[in-house]
């Protein structure tokens, strides 16, 4: 498997079909795809592309489409069968819970350096999704694309009248509130810690497919096993980085927590990281700086809120750390990025 973040190339088919349906010229679609060709590689029977390039493609495709909610629309229309054995097995799940749990547990088969979880809290099911590489940013269209896929999966069982309880995104809105309300049909909160989709937990028991449960579980077990192997095959610094990003803001990014998550003692992890020319503290500081840069672009968050999200003791500790690595204060950095012309690939809609 490629050592940098990647996604199955077949994920492009749905967004490209939506562009074509919207009347975008084939030449313009081909121009968007041309930039991806150098990033395509093979992983056994699967063609993979750089996740960073895919995210940039979605941002650019949204502008070609002319709708800020392009990612959400593409996800809602996405044919899971395009994802090969993974998608076919999800569609063969006996119920909503089994389908989403397979998505979460085997996600690394189709997309690396990312995390999806399913939790049940106070009668509500909560699906969370996030790319773990903080340098892949902006990624608003990708987040809404993935949440749209999950929403469409639930709707297969719940029917067209279903709507989420709420949706949260880690990014700012890139469409009007009316557009979000009409398309997502629920309350949408922006600037959250993670991208989430909430719905009544009772929907998890709704049937999806009448196929043989034993066959489904056998195929699902193979996919989950393959996903775990792919995760374990990543270089240790990447695995440590992913665990740190997952834990920041949740109180689980300490050295002992991360060592436990990657299956090593603290001493062994230090030794292996040192052999790779790295260390836990360096990776932690890099993650915090990269995440801080992203959070500072979310104008609704105060400096104090960002400091808390990044597990600093207070604003002063965050400011000292950020100035040491970035060469300026968080407030000045925010002012600079607000004044800076936005590159075409990252321009808001």
In a shared domain, residues 72 and 200 = yes
Question: What percent of the chain shows pLDDT beyond 70?
Answer: 95
SS3 call for 49:
strand
In a shared domain, residues 210 and 246 = no
CA atoms within 13 A on the CB side of 272: 15
In a shared domain, residues 95 and 200 = yes
- What average pLDDT does the segment 274-286 reach? 97
In a shared domain, residues 242 and 136 = no
pTM: 0.93
- What average pLDDT does the segment 14-21 reach? 96
- State yes or no: pLDDT of 310 exceeds 60: yes
Identify the H or E element spanning 65.
helix 51-65
- State yes or no: pLDDT of 348 exceeds 80: no
In a domain, 60, yes or no: no
Last residue of a domain, one of 168, 202, 226: 226
Q: 265-269, long-range: CB within 8 Å, 24+ apart, which pairs? A: 269/236, 269/240
Q: Containing domain of residue 324, as a range?
A: 235-344
Question: Count of domains in the chain?
Answer: 2
In a shared domain, residues 76 and 220 = yes
Last residue of a domain, one of 174, 202, 226: 226
In a domain, 30, yes or no: no
Last residue of a domain, one of 182, 207, 226: 226
Select from 262, 326, 332 the least CA-distant residue to 303: 332
- What average pLDDT does the segment 5-34 reach? 95
Confidence bin at 295 (pLDDT 50/70/90):
very high
Please provide residue 48's backbone torsions phi and psi, each rounded to the nearest 5 degrees: -120, 155
Question: What percent of the chain shows pLDDT beyond 90?
Answer: 87
51 in Cβ contact with 112 (< 8 Å)? yes
In a shared domain, residues 283 and 320 = yes
Average pLDDT over the chain reads 93
Tell me, rounded to whole angstroms, the distance of Cα 348 from its chain centroid: 19
* DSSP bridge pairs for 42: 47
SS3 call for 254:
coil
* DSSP bridge pairs for 41: 48
Q: 262-265, long-range: CB within 8 Å, 24+ apart, which pairs? A: 262/236
In a domain, 182, yes or no: yes
pLDDT of residue 304: 97
In a shared domain, residues 72 and 220 = yes
pLDDT of residue 340: 56
In a shared domain, residues 243 and 194 = no
In a domain, 57, yes or no: no
CATH number at residue 339: 1.10.10.60
Burial of 171 (0-12, 13-18, 19+ CB in 10 A): buried
- What average pLDDT does the segment 160-182 reach? 94
> What contacts 221, CB < 8 A, 6 or more positions away?
none
Q: What share of the chain is helix, strand, coil (3-state, %, to 5)?
A: 60, 15, 30
In a domain, 297, yes or no: yes
In a domain, 48, yes or no: no
Indicate the DSSP class of residue 342.
P
Select from 67, 118, 115 the least CA-distant residue to 95: 118
Confidence bin at 38 (pLDDT 50/70/90):
confident
- What average pLDDT does the segment 323-342 reach? 85
pLDDT of residue 1: 36
Indicate the DSSP class of residue 118.
E
In a shared domain, residues 252 and 134 = no
pLDDT of residue 112: 95
In a shared domain, residues 290 and 325 = yes
In a domain, 222, yes or no: yes
Burial of 243 (0-12, 13-18, 19+ CB in 10 A): buried
Structure tokens at 96: 């909503």
Encode pLDDT of 73-100 as tens digits.
999 999 999 999 999 999 999 999 999 9
In a shared domain, residues 75 and 220 = yes
SS3 call for 207:
strand
- State yes or no: pLDDT of 347 exceeds 60: no
Distance CA 137, CA 133 (A): 9
In a domain, 264, yes or no: yes
**Does 40 or 303 have the greater pLDDT score?**
303
In a shared domain, residues 117 and 221 = yes
- State yes or no: pLDDT of 2 exceeds 50: no
> Of the given ranges (13-17, 34-38, 52-56, 205-209), which has the lowest mean pLDDT?
34-38
Tell me, rounded to whole angstroms, the distance of Cα 111 from its chain centroid: 9
pLDDT of residue 44: 67
């Amino acid at each position: 498997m490629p050592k940098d973040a990647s996604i199955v190339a077949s994920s492009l088919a749905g967004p490209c079909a939506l562009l074509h349906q919207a009347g975008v010229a084939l030449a313009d679609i081909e121009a968007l795809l041309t930039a991806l060709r150098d990033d395509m590689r093979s992983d056994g029977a699967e063609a993979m592309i750089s996740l960073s390039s895919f995210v940039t493609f979605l941002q650019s495709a949204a502008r070609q489409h002319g709708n800020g909610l392009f990612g959400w629309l593409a996800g809602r229309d996405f044919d899971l069968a395009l994802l090969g054995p993974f998608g076919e097995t999800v569609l063969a799940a006996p119920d909503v819970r089994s389908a989403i749990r397979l998505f979460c547990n085997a996600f690394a088969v189709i997309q690396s350096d990312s995390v999806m979880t399913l939790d049940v809290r106070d009668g509500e099911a909560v699906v969370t999704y996030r790319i773990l590489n903080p340098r892949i940013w902006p990624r608003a269209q990708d987040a809404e694309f993935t949440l749209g896929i999950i929403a469409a999966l639930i709707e297969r069982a719940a029917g067209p009248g279903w709507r989420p309880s709420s949706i949260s995104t880690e990014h700012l809105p890139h469409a009007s509130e009316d557009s979000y309300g009409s398309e997502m049909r629920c309350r949408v909160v922006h600037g959250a810690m993670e991208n989430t989709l909430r719905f009544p937990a009772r929907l998890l028991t709704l049937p999806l497919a009448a196929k043989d449960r034993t066959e489904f579980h056998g195929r699902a077990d193979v996919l989950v096993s393959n996903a775990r192997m792919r995760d374990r095959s990543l270089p240790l610094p990447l695995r440590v980085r992913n665990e740190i990003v997952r834990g920041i803001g949740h109180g689980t990014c300490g050295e002992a927590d991360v060592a436990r998550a990657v299956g090593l003692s603290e001493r062994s992890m230090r030794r292996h990281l040192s052999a790779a020319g790295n260390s836990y503290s360096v990776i932690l500081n890099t993650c915090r700086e990269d995440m801080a840069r992203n959070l500072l672009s979310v104008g609704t968050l105060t400096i104090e809120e960002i400091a808390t999200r990044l597990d600093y003791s207070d604003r002063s500790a965050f400011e000292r750390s950020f100035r040491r690595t970035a060469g300026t204060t968080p407030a000045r950095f925010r002012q600079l990025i607000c004044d800076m012309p936005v590159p075409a690939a990252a321009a808001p809609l």
